[in-house]
Amino acid sequence: MKAKEIVKDKIIKEKEGNLISKGVKFLEEVKIEAKKITWPPKKQVILSVLMIMFFSIIIGAYLGLLDIIYNALISFLVR
């Protein structure tokens, strides 16, 4: 039985070693790929954020107006 346990221990250690080496290799590849990222200029980011905020406010106002109209309509019909 000891021989089987030794073989199992060796297999587990080999798998762990492979897992660790795979993890290290993955992180090295992530670092290489991260260096290839090109970030947009600050001006473009600010403009994009402002556009998103503007359209979010417009859509929120539109949906709020629809809510008020439908609420009034349903209140009128229920009376």
Tokens of 28: 């090295």
Rounded to whole angstroms, the Cα distance separating 28 from 21 reads 11
pTM of the model: 0.53
Delimit the domains of the chain by residue range: 1-37, 39-79
Rounded to whole angstroms, the Cα distance separating 52 from 48 reads 6
pLDDT digits (tens, 9 = 90+) for 38-69: 989 999 999 999 999 999 999 999 999 999 99
